[in-house]
Amino acid sequence: MRAAGFVGMSAARFERKYVYRTRNRLRLRIPRGAHCHFLRDGGCGIHPAKPTQCRIFPFWPELVEKPRAWAKTAAYCPGIGQGPLIQIKSARARAEEMRLEHAKLYP
């Protein structure tokens, strides 16, 4: 776990404090009254070591491949539609990276 090293914790301690497991994935716990333990005013507090799904978002396969899901996500994510244009080929390559990293989620 890159994030554990980044914040100077052992993987086991980081997981106990910040992570919970579902059948196919590890998820960051959501603190009460906030979206993420690591969200700071200036952005992600663990940016260099943030999880793959954060690094690749919003180019997740289920969003890149489904325009309706993309539009629904864009309705609440202020970052979508900002910044330089990303070519679909590049978006699909990132989605593939996500697919490879989380093979159980994308059989």
- Is residue 77 near ligand SF4 by the rule CB under 6 A? no
Assess 59 for contact with ligand SF4 (CB under 6 A). Answer: no
CB 29 within 8 A of CB 20: yes
Closest C-alpha among 1, 25, 21 to residue 11 = 1
Is the omega angle on the peptide bond into residue 58 within 30 degrees of 0, that is, cis?
yes
Is 46 within 8 Å of 35 (Cβ atoms)?
no
Read off the amino acid at residue 14.
F
Q: Is the dihedral of CA 5, 11, 16, 22 positive or negative?
A: positive
Among 44, 69, 74, 77, binds ligand SF4 (CB under 6 A): 44
Task: Between 21 and 89, name the residue whose CB sits nearer to ligand SF4.
Answer: 21
Binds ligand SF4 by CB under 6 A, chosen from 38, 59, 60, 70: 38
Q: Which stretch binds ligand SF4 (CB under 6 A): 16-24, 32-40, 58-66, 87-95?
A: 32-40
CB of 90 to ligand SF4, least distance (A): 20
Residues of this chain that bind ligand SF4 (CB under 6 A): 36, 38-39, 44, 46, 50, 54
